[in-house]
Amino acid sequence: TVVRASFGTGFRAPLLTELAFNPSLQVERSVEYDLGAEHRFGNGQMATNGTLNLYRTLIDDAGVQTVAADGSLTFLGNVGQSYYQGAELRADQPLSDGVALRASYGINSAFPTGDPALVNPAAPPMIPGEQFQGIPLHKAQLALDRQAQAHGLSYALTGTYESGNNELNRPAYVVLDASLGMTFGHTDVSLAGTNLTNQFNDRFTLPAAGVSYPIPGGTMPTDAYSLQGAALRVTVTQRY
């Protein structure tokens, strides 16, 4: 078993491009705590490896930005104190020579501790303690992969989950990706498929069609963003 711990402080000065938009931007200062552990359950090649990481970051004068549906910046400013805290759990289970099942799960809680409007009247409306818009509280991934030796077959099948309050302003969703690869002499051939379930393939942003975001006194409409539709890509690499 390996245990790690760290503590640190830091700061982030505004970029010149950010100061051009808002000359009043202040330096962000942070305090960070991290605690992690790794453990191998059992012996031999088929033993399970597990990793757990815990973190907590306090940011003073946290900077927040909002953008319009066309991508233009609508707000950039400091909104007071914010917390980013959570946990990441990962497990790797070998199934046979070269084949492994990998799973990960994360919680990322991010929120302002006070009312940003009291610090910056121009700040977008936020509820103290409410998850920041566009940061999902839960993320998970499950993958089955095989790393081929020499001229063998390689493959991967991956499912990725994001809870609500995601950056797409959509309900919780799962995306499925897959790939195959094979080597023939000096030629590598691979086939990759992305978003095989064709999740949220709307081609364009859907104005005011996203999941509403809680604000003081009610909710705020959001735009629903889209993913690239199901796609297949073939790659051939010839080595000389």
How much is the pLDDT for 73? Answer: 86
For 76-89, the pLDDT digits (tens) are 999 999 999 999 99
| 96-101 average pLDDT score | 90
Nearest to 65 by CA among 17, 101, 106, 109: 17
pLDDT class of 68 with cuts at 50, 70, 90? confident
Given a cut of 80, is residue 165 above it in pLDDT? yes
How much is the pLDDT for 108? Answer: 97
| 14-24 average pLDDT score | 92
- Beta partners for residue 150, in sequence order: none
Ramachandran quadrant class, 79 (left: phi over 0; alpha: psi -120 to 50; beta: rest) = alpha
Q: Are 197 and 176 in contact (CB under 8 A)?
A: yes
For 176-198, the pLDDT digits (tens) are 999 999 988 889 999 999 999 99
| 49-75 average pLDDT score | 89
Task: Calculate the average pLDDT of the chain.
Answer: 93
How much is the pLDDT for 31? Answer: 97
Nearest to 165 by CA among 138, 139, 133, 140: 133
3-state secondary structure string across 17-32: HHHHHCCCCCCEEEEE
How much is the pLDDT for 29? Answer: 96
pLDDT class of 142 with cuts at 50, 70, 90? very high
pLDDT class of 98 with cuts at 50, 70, 90? confident
Residue with tokens 């707000």: 75
